[in-house]
Structure 1
Amino acid sequence: MGPAILPADGSRFSADYLIETPLDPSAVAEVMAGEQSCGTFVRVEGETDQLRQRARAVVEAIDELDGVAEPSLPNAWQQRQNMVGPYRRARIRISFPVENVGPNLPTLAATVAGNLFDLGEVTGLRLLDVTLPASYRRRFDLPRQGIAGTRKLAGVADAPLLGTIIKPNVGLTPEETGELVGRLCEAGVDFIKDDEVCANPSHAPLEQRVRSVMKRVRAWREKSGRNVMVAFNISDDLDSMRRHAELVEREGGSCVMVSLNWCGYSAVQSLRRSTSLALHGHRNGFGMMSREPLLGMSYPAYQALWRLAGVDHLHVHGLNGKFSEFNDEVIASARACLSEMSEGDAAMPVFSNGQWAGTVRPTFDAINSSDVIFLSGGGILAHPDGAAAGVASLRQAWDAARAGIALEEYAKDAPELRRAIAFYGARLK
């Protein structure tokens, strides 16, 4: 299937799916359309032709693929029906009336990704993408900062934002955390973030940690004239997140981080409406939605829904990293974030996990953009010549990539990069 083509009047949005079924895919697609709009498994009283014309979802396209002999997922309903394979697979596109949902993000998510996963007709179903007309997208929350605002707050005009993660993840006191941030500022990073498992622990209450960290950030700003953006993990109940965001803003901070999947659409939307800080969206837990190819959702759909909550940054993992994703998935994720759904609403993709100077060039070549946050823990903090040399090696790698110069060639006159290649390259072969 090609790109979705929506009515010019903005009256419909669409979703793409991958399904597996022992039945006719076209019949299953009609079941899906009915289930997620005005119908159920049989036509019911009140479901008039006029109502169906106004409110029913429509199957727009079916592209049948190669089938398989065995089902991907167990299915009690099919066992009761004594159904057997072969199992047919197809990509399908369904469009929905905008007015069925309105600017209601939880209901939009329930429409494109609700009970469909439980349907007895399928032995596999995956949400691949969601496409909204620009006019409908603008009825939802927009990023307050986005790419341009993030650059302004961080003081980085056109290069990638280079950053790192506070490690150890947990265990540091507020004062120890502040001292580490001070050293990272001195090392030359643009961006520092909390780990997703460190929010408001008893050994380092968030209020104390924010004050300790921002004291160092302000001191560095006064000394160097450079801003450093810190993404404080404020994941919590909504009232606490609002309170913590207000504290960060009072202390001169510019960014807060939220574990999206565990806080939920409504909480993140409400947080977005109550603060102008950049919202750094962490996707931890996404793997349980995505690792089974015939279940869950792909990242293009995931990021589309979360962008409607107004987040400014979204994690996409990294190339050749320590996690399970294939590089083409990471690249597709970053490209999706950078693709505008409506004018000026792109999210800044965040590359992380196992990133160092050697992963820069394939990253730049794949997305042809410097509008990224590039996080490197060991790639900065484990550099044999220290953190400042680690940051320098990343900047040199990005300069080489943007200039189209081979890494090893550029490293001849860049000692920090040369040391990084020797040190990390030997360990990652």
Structure 2
Amino acid sequence: MSIQTFSERFDASYLIETPLDPARVAEVMAGEQSSGTFTRVAGETDELRARTRALVTRVDEFESVGEPSLPNAWLARKRVDGPWRRARVTISFPTANVGANLPTLASVVAGNLFDLGEVTGLRLESLALPAGYRARFPLPRQGIAGTRALTGVASGPLVGSIIKPNVGLSAEETATLVADLCASGLDFIKDDEISANPDHAPLVQRVPAVMAAVRRHADRTGKQVMVAFNITDETDAMRRHADLVAREGGTCVMASLNWCGFSAVETLRRSTDLALHGHRNGYGAFSRHPLLGISFQAYQVLWRLAGVDHMHVHGVQGKFAQEDEEVVASAKDCVTPLAPGIDDRVLPAFSSGQWAGTAQPTWDAIGHDDLLFMAGGGILAHPGGAKAGVASIRQAWAAVAAGVPLDEAARTHAELGQALAFFGGKAA
């Protein structure tokens, strides 16, 4: 292979904490994740290193701290003490080391780095890919434009809800609820992440029953509601269930990304044109510690390379632990192309504690409505019923797009007024 092949590179940036020299630790990271190990070995020639070694391109050191973020037996054995120095480091990797291999890409930019003895904290913050490398991976089959086309929503947010109760409903009971939700005016309905193929409502029964209700609604109204069936399972089962959804006229399936894994989602993407709704449940285990894990920017890069069409970002003023700033940054990441000249944007899916009252802060923060806005209690618990709950959300988004304060819009929109009075400032 020519040296020219190795000229294309991708960059990964990290936040690290260490009692050692951060620049030296960055070199250890670069070596460990490319051609090197803790010592020079036979076969590691200068020519090989020149072709394949990762390069440290930047080190920005910050203020040190007095206590380590994480325990470290390696440093303890060496009796290395603080202060603990923090730095942001950027490492450039040859794409040829990896090829179009998503699980290996994840192993290179993360993998054993989290276990390095030299660090008491390490977090993968961002990934930047050259256009040629990004083009070697699949694009979203539907993305924002395709999802709008499938649902008939040309502009404004797609309004969605989640089937509740989360579990326990039979296939027939689920279909009845879906029929009611369709009648309420929704664009999108999804299964809960913990309800996939349960004994009381197996997909082989649930998909035909639900899609019969969706088709009846479409026949009456002309509106094709998108239903994201949770097909999280092993790979062959997911492909089989995606085929079932397609045969029944469905347009979307959902997978719990972290638990299916890159390979399963890539295989699913290759086997279906259905919109893939990427649910990130479990992401908090990768992200909640500020000196450990993977930031959403890097996380969503990896999953977009797998070909998903929608990505969960949680919700502004929601019920989960993330700060609003993180939610907003995540939504912006989803609509930012991964490389110049490639439209691979995916639909950010807002959920968790959303209701009419969170439309304004969401709009204020992101400035656009290319999003899926899902509410469970914000729709189903509305005092006027689900139809009024959907109406309140649409009224809220129309008001904020027009620059009208919600309390002013509520004077002429009863459903919005009821939502503001009932939910107040609390998460629904």
TM-score by length of 1: 0.97
CA distance in 1, matches of 2:89, 2:328: 23
CA distance in 1, matches of 2:282, 2:370: 25
Q: Which of 12, 36, 40 is equivalent to 1:39?
A: 36
- Identify the residue that residue 350 of structure 2 maps to in structure 1: 351
CA distance in 2, matches of 1:413, 1:147: 32
Deviation per CA, 1:348-399, whole angstroms, max 9, x where unpaired? 0000000001111111111111110110000000000111110000001110
Report the alpha carbon displacement of residue 35 of structure 1 after superposing the two structures with TM: 0.3
Are 1:91 and 2:88 an aligned pair? yes
Runs of 4+ in 1 over 4 A off after TM superposition: 426-429
CA distance in 1, matches of 2:415, 2:23: 58
Are 1:226 and 2:258 an aligned pair? no
Report the alpha carbon displacement of residue 141 of structure 1 after superposing the two structures with TM: 1.3
CA distance in 2, matches of 1:371, 1:319: 15
Report the alpha carbon displacement of residue 405 of structure 1 after superposing the two structures with TM: 1.3
CA distance in 2, matches of 1:325, 1:122: 25
Are 1:290 and 2:261 an aligned pair? no
Q: Which of 323, 326, 335 is equivalent to 1:326?
A: 323
Report the alpha carbon displacement of residue 29 of structure 1 after superposing the two structures with TM: 0.2
Deviation per CA, 1:270-329, whole angstroms, max 9, x where unpaired? 000000000000000000001111000110010000000000000000011111000000
Q: Which of 155, 159, 163 is equivalent to 1:158?
A: 155
Report the alpha carbon displacement of residue 401 of structure 1 after superposing the two structures with TM: 1.2
Q: Which amino acid in 1 is paired with 2:367?
A: N
CA distance in 1, matches of 2:363, 2:213: 32
Report the alpha carbon displacement of residue 341 of structure 1 after superposing the two structures with TM: 1.1
CA distance in 2, matches of 1:47, 1:32: 17
CA distance in 2, matches of 1:339, 1:87: 35
Q: Which amino acid in 2 is paired with 1:76?
A: A
- Identify the residue that residue 247 of structure 1 maps to in structure 2: 244
Quote the sequence identity (%): 65
- Identify the residue that residue 370 of structure 2 maps to in structure 1: 371
Deviation per CA, 1:177-214, whole angstroms, max 9, x where unpaired? 00000000000000000001000000111111101100
TM-score by length of 2: 0.97
Deviation per CA, 1:60-115, whole angstroms, max 9, x where unpaired? 11111111001000000001100000000000100100111111000100000111
CA distance in 1, matches of 2:360, 2:7: 40
- Identify the residue that residue 109 of structure 1 maps to in structure 2: 106
Deviation per CA, 1:104-155, whole angstroms, max 9, x where unpaired? 0001000001110000000000000111011110101110001000000011
CA distance in 2, matches of 1:300, 1:409: 37
- Identify the residue that residue 304 of structure 1 maps to in structure 2: 301
- Identify the residue that residue 402 of structure 2 maps to in structure 1: 403
Native 8 Å contact 2:378 2:389 kept in 1: yes
CA distance in 1, matches of 2:426, 2:23: 51
Q: Which amino acid in 1 is paired with 2:414?
A: P
Q: Which of 241, 263, 282 is equivalent to 2:260?
A: 263
Secondary structure of 1:366's counterpart equals helix
Secondary structure of 2:63's counterpart equals strand
Native 8 Å contact 2:355 2:427 kept in 1: no
Secondary structure of 1:408's counterpart equals helix
**Residue ranges of structure 2 left out of the alignment (5+ in a row):** none
CA distance in 2, matches of 1:144, 1:367: 24
User: CA 1:128–1:248 in structure 2 vs 1: closer, same or farther (change >3 Å)?
Assistant: same
Deviation per CA, 1:244-287, whole angstroms, max 9, x where unpaired? 00000000000000000000000100000000000000000000
Are 1:66 and 2:72 an aligned pair? no
CA distance in 2, matches of 1:137, 1:77: 37
Native 8 Å contact 1:380 1:389 kept in 2: yes
CA distance in 1, matches of 2:204, 2:67: 54
CA distance in 2, matches of 1:427, 1:30: 48
- Identify the residue that residue 413 of structure 2 maps to in structure 1: 414
- Identify the residue that residue 389 of structure 2 maps to in structure 1: 390
- Identify the residue that residue 125 of structure 1 maps to in structure 2: 122
CA distance in 2, matches of 1:45, 1:24: 27
Report the alpha carbon displacement of residue 45 of structure 1 after superposing the two structures with TM: 1.4
Report the alpha carbon displacement of residue 426 of structure 1 after superposing the two structures with TM: 5.8
Secondary structure of 1:68's counterpart equals coil
User: CA 1:204–1:85 in structure 2 vs 1: closer, same or farther (change >3 Å)?
Assistant: same
Q: Which of 180, 190, 200 is equivalent to 2:177?
A: 180
CA distance in 1, matches of 2:63, 2:398: 44
Deviation per CA, 1:157-181, whole angstroms, max 9, x where unpaired? 0111101000000000000000000
Secondary structure of 1:67's counterpart equals coil
Q: Which amino acid in 1 is paired with 2:411?
A: K
CA distance in 1, matches of 2:309, 2:217: 25
Two-structure CA RMSD over aligned residues (Å): 1.2
Report the alpha carbon displacement of residue 10 of structure 1 after superposing the two structures with TM: 7.2
CA distance in 1, matches of 2:227, 2:400: 26
